[in-house]
Structure formats: structure tokens, C-alpha cells
Amino acid sequence: MRKLEVCCGDLQSVCAAIEGGAHRVELCEALELDGLTPSEAMMESAIGMGIPVQVLIRVREGDFVYNKEEVSKMQHDIRIARKLGAAGVVIGALMPDGSIDEDAIRRMMDEAEGLSVTFHRAFDVCRNPEEALEKIISLGCHRLLTSGQAPTAEQGIPMLKKLVGQADGRIVIMPGAGVNPQNVSRILEETGAIEIHGSLRKNGHTSTELVRATINHICFSE
């Protein structure tokens, strides 16, 4: 079954995603900074709305190269998300040379035991995506959110198709970035992906109408 995950930066957007029929949400704050970890209060409220919530764990804006203190803070945030009943977390970390920071991811994976774990779009600025994918799989992540290292998922279709083939069912490749009702069918059909991610916003918030239209296109294309 194809699934739509909606990126929500506020509780109003979570409500709109639910009303539109989204299968789950990625919860974050500060979308203008490409998303940061939401507050504990926001997590608790969203999780209580009855839709599976994947909590973004990103301690600051900027690059994805983190020091030990920043990784420890993200471990703490994962513990909070688990305690509050999140379905999963969304993580990512790189080394200065652009490779996957395996130590940081292992530390976060240990805290996330029992949760669904998505590796986020840090992947889109990593070095050697094929090698990085194998490391992400070996670390135990369940899903990879990526635009195929392109500005949008639609532009990244060739790489996304390669990643889906390389993954061969070992991890879910979830296209994201610039997804809308007009291109969602094409992205899914040409890449072979079964899950897709979008913010589907209008006037700064997730739009129920855009979510519903995207869901309709996903179902129609099946």
C-alpha cells in the first residue's frame, strides 16, 4: 500500500494532515530553517491526535556535522519522544568529509530501540550515495527520506529509481521535496517507491485540500 507522510511544522498542520487523510506525519518546528526538533509540549499534543507521529530530531540549523554534546542532546530528545509515545524518529548525521557519521547514528539508534527510524535529507548532501545507503541500512534505519540529491524529488527521479533498486526491499526509500498533487503519481510510478513525503502547504500551513488531492492521486495511480 502506498503511503503519504506529511511534514507538519505546527499543530494546525497536523489537524489538516489528519483531515486530508495522511497516513502519518513528520513533526518539526521552524520549517523556515528546514525543520528543528519540536518542543515536548508540541510532541505530546500531536501524538495525542491519533495519527502516527515521526518526530524530527535535529538540534540546530545548518550542517549535519555534530559534536558529542549535540549528539547527546539529540539522544535526550529521542528519549522524550519515546516516553511520549511517538511512532518513530527522524535522524541523520554526517562526518566532515560527507560520509555517514556511524558513531552518532548508532548512539541515536540505541535510544530509538523499538521505534521506526527514518534517516533524513542529510543524505542529500552526503558523499557517495550508494555507499551511504549501504551504511544506513547496516545501521538499522527503516526508511530513507531523500530527494535523490536533487533540489526536488521530481528532478531526482533517476537517482531515486537507482536507490529503490539498490535497496531491494531492505529499507524504504521515501522521496520528498517539492511533492504536490500534480507530480506525486509520476514520482511514485517512475521510481518504484511506495511511500512519499510532502509538506503540502498553503499560506504557511499544511492544506487539507492539498493533502486530500495528493492522497487521491496516490490511490488513483495504484
Domain boundaries, the chain: 3-221
The string of pLDDT tens digits covering residues 143-200 is: 999 999 999 999 999 999 999 999 999 999 999 999 999 999 999 999 999 999 999 9
pLDDT-derived band of residue 83, with 50, 70 and 90 as boundaries?
Answer: very high
Query: Does 3 score more than 80 pLDDT?
Result: yes
As a whole number, mean pLDDT of residues 117-132 equals: 97
As a whole number, mean pLDDT of residues 74-101 equals: 98
Q: Which pLDDT score, from 0 to 100, does residue 101 have?
A: 98
> Are 135 and 160 a contacting pair, CB within 8 Å?
no
Q: Where are the alpha helices (H) located in the chain, listed in sequence order? A: 11-20, 40-47, 68-84, 102-111, 129-138, 157-167, 184-191, 208-221
> Under 8 Å CB-to-CB from 50, ≥6 apart: which residues?
18
Q: Which pLDDT score, from 0 to 100, does residue 220 have?
A: 61
Q: Which pLDDT score, from 0 to 100, does residue 222 have?
A: 53
What's the pTM? 0.95
Residue 31 DSSP code:
G
pLDDT-derived band of residue 1, with 50, 70 and 90 as boundaries?
Answer: confident
Tell me which fold the domain 3-221 belongs to.
TIM Barrel (3.20.20)
Residue 118 DSSP code:
E
As a whole number, mean pLDDT of residues 3-19 equals: 97
Query: Does 219 score more than 80 pLDDT?
Result: no
Q: 26 in helix, strand or coil?
A: strand
Q: How far apart are CA 88 and CA 183, in angstroms?
A: 27
